[in-house]
Chain A
């Protein structure tokens, strides 16, 4: 059991440049933290788990976005990042000769995947993917993007827990936006659980506490319905 130390930018985390991992930088043969976060150090790798920061898109990321503009060859999409994203019509299935804004119009929410980010920081999205779809119902909640891995959990364990216990559809965007769909009161519970996970992301025993929390809330629901 390694306690994870909170480090600040400029803190020395290793003297072996070959172990420099995410969130670190190397100078004069020494490895330093570049962001505030929790240091995760093993013999081979030292990385920093950031606790704050805006979402920077990465190819392969599933994201939730809002259409801002319909243009001739696609849609400009806001993905809650310093960088605007673009969904080309070629990446949207089922076009079938329909008009652009019949398919996706301004202020529509979508689940999409990041294909690439070019040197000019232009982000290209695709919706040619099973998980991608326009969002026509349900609820979207927003959390600190750095907590997304915790909401997903090791090998998806946390998100599986939420899905199985409450039967709610959940799609987690890497950009901190999460789509929920299902019975209203159950979605309320999932939303609360997500904020709880966000707040207590790096504490011990979180999975157990969330399991407990869901159990209590479910009981409360059943009592309500009696």
Chain B
């Protein structure tokens, strides 16, 4: 896919993000960026995934269930879920100081909460399940990319879940709702709404995460949800393919 090189003007002139009915990178309004998903790419982690979503490049790893340290953080009736979203210093244009900032802490929290409703934590009392995601290159929608990678890593680790979590954002740019915004749309659009859904057996069951930055009418939000659902179903298929590809050598009946 060819990328339209368009330097957004931050000055007096209004930024045009939709030109001749097309987005700056040539995509249709409800078109996802190209994605690439590979499961089981790390040796040490129990489950892992490398994922590209447009120019986003993220790696997710899952460790667990495993012992919780310090012990007092254990829960008697279920596993403790931890999710750590982290950006590598070289992942953004202006080098980011290592370590969590307020934004990373917030993203980690809402992402963890999405998984807490889906991972069967009651099966592993007094243990912990850790999800770590590193953003190696960022280009809008890193939190959605990370969630998609984390899901594949959790499946790869054999963690029991009620369904899969799939995530995608919808933005409003130049009055138009677009799926999976890239950087300029995220920076200069009127609203950005990341969603994460629980998908079971090929159907969207519920919303596990939703946030909004910006302003929208109620009608727009309803339409944004529909657009997001369609996008999520496409990503869900790719998540499945990544797992099947990794384990496809395994089949047929035992003797």
Contact = CB atoms under 8 A, between A and B. Distances in A.
Determine if chain A interacts with chain B.
yes
- A-side binding surface: helix, strand, loop or mixed? loop
Interface string B157-181: 1111111100000000000000000
B62 to A, nearest CB: 10
B248 to A, nearest CB: 7
Contacts of B67: 82-84
Given A82-B65, A121-B125, A35 B160 contact: yes
Interface string A69-108: 0000000000000111000000000000000000000000
Interface residues of A, number: 41
Interface string B231-255: 0000000001001100111111111
Contacts of A11: 200-201
A213 to B, nearest CB: 16
Given A3-B253, A9-B155, A202-B254, A83 B127 contact: yes
B199 interface: yes
Given A35-B158, A52-B46, A52-B156, A8 B64 contact: no
A10 B158 contact: no
A4 B124 CA distance: 27
A203 to B, nearest CB: 7
A224 to B, nearest CB: 32
Interface residues of B, number: 39
Interface in B201-255: 201, 240, 243-244, 247-255
B76 interface: yes
Interface string B14-41: 0000000000000000000000000000
A6 B247 contact: yes
Given A3-B251, A6-B244, A12-B200, 20 more contacts: A9-B164, A10-B163, A10-B200, A23-B160, A32-B162, A38-B251, A51-B158, A52-B46, A53-B158, A54-B64, A54-B158, A56-B124, A82-B64, A82-B126, A83-B67, A146-B158, A202-B250, A203-B252, A204-B252, A204-B255
Top 9 nearest A-B pairs (CB, nearest first) are A52-B158, A10-B163, A53-B158, A10-B200, A9-B161, A82-B127, A34-B160, A202-B250, A12-B201
13 contacts: A9-B160, A9-B161, A10-B198, A10-B199, A34-B160, A34-B161, A53-B158, A121-B125, A121-B126, A121-B127, A202-B251, A203-B249, A204-B252
Interface of A: 1-4, 6, 8-12, 23, 25, 27, 32, 34-38, 50-54, 56, 82-84, 120-121, 146, 150, 154, 200-207
